Amino acid sequence: MAADTELLHELSTAPGPSGHEEPVQEVVRERLKGVAEIQTDVLGDLTAVVNGAGTPRMVVEGHADQIGLVVTHVDDAGFVYFDKIGGVDAALCQGREFVIHNAKGPVAAVGGKRPTHLVPKEERNKVPEIRDQWIDIGAGSRDEALARIAIGDPITFTPSFLELSPDVFAGQALDNRVAIYVMVRALELYAKHPGKTALVGLSAVGEETTFLGARAQALALDADVCVVVDGDFASDQPEIDAKKAGGLVEMGKGPVIARGQCSNKKLFTLVCEVAEAEGIAYQVKAYPGQTQTDTDELQGTTKVANLNIGIPMRYMHSPFEVCRGGDLEAAVRLVAALARHVGDVFAPRYFVTMRG
C-alpha cells in the first residue's frame, strides 16, 4: 500500500510540543470519527477503540508530542528568551525561523545571532547556552512584545513538509507523528476486517519531557497486550557507526522489532511469525535495557506483554526528520495483522508496545 501522504503531512505540521498536543489530537479525532469510539482524559491523552467488546485487548500506542521551546522572558527591548521543551539541540536555534503559538494566533519569529564578524575569534564556533539565545519578533519594547505573545507560550520550528524523492519524506515532529500515523492507519485497516481482538489506539502526551501520558494510562488502559510505536535511529547515514548505535537499522527495510527486556519473548516470536506469513519486511534490534520510550512506563504495570517496534528515521530531534512511507505502511499492516492473531497465543492479561 502507498503511504497516505496527506495524513502524514497533516500530522507533521500540526504543532504539539509537550503539554500543547491539542492540534495533533484534533487531527486524530477527525480522522477516526466514525471508525472508532474516541475518548480523551484530563491530561489530553486520546484513546480510540475498534471492536471494544472483543478479547484479548491490544493497545497500539504512540506519543503525540514533539520537542519545542517555551517563552520564559521578554527584555525591555522586546527580545524574547526561551528554554527547551524536550531534547532540543542549542546549535539548531540560531538563525532559524520559528512560530510562537499564542492564544490570539501564531506569531512569526526568527532566532537571533551576532554576526560572525563581531564575534571574538576565541568564541567563534561555540554555541551559546540555550537560555542565552533570543528570538526576534520585530517588537520595539517589552510591552509591544507582550501585546502579541505571553510568558509560557510554546514555540516550534516553522513547519515544512517535503517529499525528497518518491516515498522519502522530511518534516518536523515525525518523531513521533510516524507512530500516530501507524496507529490511525492500523485502526482503519483493522476496522475493515476486524478479528476477535479489541484494538485500542492511544495517542499519549508528554513523552519528550516526563512520559506523563503513558504513565497515567498504564493502568487505566486495562490492556492485555500493548504495542508502542516510536522512531528508531537509522544507521544508514554519514557519521553513524552501526556498532556504536546499537545495531544496523536501515530505512526502507521495514519496522524494527526490539528484542530484549522491553519485548515479551512469546510476543516477539509471534510478531516475527506474523510478519513472515504476511510477507512484511522487518528488522531486529537488540535492546539490553531501557528503550527511553513510553514502553518503559507502560511495562511497569506488569499486567501486560510488551513489544517494542521502531520506525527507522534520520536526523531525529531536528527541524527536518526523514522517514520512508514504505516503512510506515509495513508497520500499519504488521499491527493490524498482529491484532488478528494475538488471541491465538495470548489470552487476556497481556500487553504489547511498538517503538520506532
Cα distance from N-terminal residue to C-terminal residue, the chain: 20
Nearest Cα neighbor of 276 from 334, 331, 332 is 334
Domain range annotation of the chain: 5-66+172-345, 68-157
Mean pLDDT check: name the lowest of 28-37, 216-225, 260-269. 216-225
Other CB atoms closer than 10 Å to residue 128's CB: what's the count? Answer: 15
Confidence of residue 347 (pLDDT cuts 50, 70, 90): low
> What does the block give as the cell for 199?
484494538
Largest CA distance in the chain: 68
Give per-residue pLDDT as tens, 281-301.
Answer: 999 999 998 888 888 888 776
In angstroms, the Cα distances linking 77 to 22, 27, 133, 139, 347 are: 32, 38, 15, 8, 64
What is the architecture, at CATH level 2, of domain 68-157? Beta Barrel (2.40)
| pLDDT higher than 60, residue 112 | yes
Give per-residue pLDDT as tens, 50-81.
Answer: 999 999 999 999 999 999 999 999 999 999 99
Coil, strand, or helix at residue 288?
A: coil
Count of alpha carbons within 13 Å of 186, Cβ hemisphere only? 34
Mean of per-residue pLDDT scores for the chain: 93
- Classify domain 5-66+172-345 at the CATH topology level: Aminopeptidase (3.40.630)
pLDDT at 197: 96
pTM comes to 0.94
pLDDT at 348: 58
Parallel, antiparallel or unpaired: strands 225-233 and 80-85:
unpaired
> What does the block give as the cell for 13?
505540521
